[in-house]
Amino acid sequence: MGLIRARNGKFYGETDLGGAHGQGTLFEISTTGQLHTLYTFCSQPNCADGSEPIAGLVQASDGNFYGTTSGLGGQSTSYGTVFRITPSGTLTTLHAFDYSDGSFAGQMIEGTDGNLYGTTWNGGAFKGGTLFKMTLDGTLTTLYNFCSQSGCADGETPIAGLTQDTNGEFYGTTELGGTDAACNGFTCGTVFSLSVGLGPFIAAEPPYGAVNAKIIIIGSSLKSTTRVAFNGKPATYTVISDSEIETIVPAGATTGAIKVVTPAGTLKSNEVFQVLK
């Protein structure tokens, strides 16, 4: 699992073991190395708060962090949980998996609709794992159950999580399943896409920078771009290709969304762009 950079400039991460109860921690660390433990798992009776967070965190649009645990959650067997934690360290368990809706969730991402999307490695209707959507208040919807096709032709065990392309669709992989004859009787996994009806957007690389920093914007149908703005502040730009724009963070820019205007409409960045001081 890796660190994520939060909007406050600090880094946040997790350990899968250790801490006061030996079941993992969530921590904050500054760029100068000052570490603060935000939460120690298994602090609640029967580990109702979960244990062993191994998949990583995501900071959502509400400023809070969301993640998963691979163990316990108040149950006698280990199916894992989804949790929310505030930057100050208040943890709320949003969902405890019971195998029928999945088991062992991977790292989640926030879609452009403001919901969280993720995968579970096992469980679900056909025991091959699931794709799910979750609102930020914890309402879970199972979108797909793997191994629903004969011989698990649709794949099994999606352990790597999802990514959202700028076309609006989600993409991922499974560790097992598929139909490739080259596997000589073994199942080698699949690559899949998931459409939930979300529209296209743009992404900034990196999603932060100081004034005058060079930023790359990626997306689709960008060749006829007529305007680029950082939270409303116009910026100079060069169209490199139909999927790439090079731009400069303009003087006076503030933290907020990047918008690109094209003849087909206005595209908005999927993440808040942080203007560094």
Q: Give yes or no for a contact between 78 and 120, defined as CB atoms under 8 angstroms apart.
A: no
Residue 45: band (very low, low, confident or very high) from pLDDT cuts 50, 70, 90? confident
Residue 183: band (very low, low, confident or very high) from pLDDT cuts 50, 70, 90? low
Give the pTM. 0.88
pLDDT at 185: 53
* Domain coordinates in residue numbering, the chain: 4-143, 203-276
The 10s digit of each residue's pLDDT in 204-239 is: 999 999 999 999 999 999 999 999 999 999 999 999
What is the distance between the alpha carbons of residues 271 and 277, in angstroms, rounded to a whole number? 18
What is the distance between the alpha carbons of residues 96 and 101, in angstroms, rounded to a whole number? 9
**Domains 4-143 and 203-276 fall in the same CATH topology:** no
According to CATH, the topology of domain 4-143 is Methylamine Dehydrogenase; Chain H (2.130.10)
Residues 6+ apart with CB under 8 A from 247: 214, 215, 216, 217, 228, 235, 236, 237, 238
> Residue by residue, what is the 3-state secondary structure of the chain?
CCCEECCCCCEEEEECCECCCCECEEEEECCCCCEEEEEECCCCHHHCCCECCCCCCEECCCCCEEEEECECCCCCCCCCEEEEECCCCCEEEEEECCECCEEEECCCEECCCCCEEEEEEEECCCCECEEEEECCCCCEEEEEECCCCHHHCCCECCCCCEEECCCCCEEEEECECCCCHHHCCCCCCEEEEECCCCCCCEEEECCEEECCCEEEEECCCCCCCCEEEECCEECCEEEEECCEEEEECCCCCCCECEEEEECCEEEEECCCEEEEC
pLDDT at 76: 60
Q: Give yes or no for a contact between 272 and 7, defined as CB atoms under 8 angstroms apart.
A: yes
From 59, 101, 106, 102, select the one nearest 84 (Cα to Cα): 59
CATH number for the 203-276 domain, one of 2.60.120.620, 2.60.40.10, 3.30.70.100, 3.20.20.70? 2.60.40.10
The 10s digit of each residue's pLDDT in 89-148 is: 999 999 999 999 999 999 999 999 999 999 999 999 999 999 999 999 999 999 999 999
> What mean pLDDT do residues 152-173 have?
94
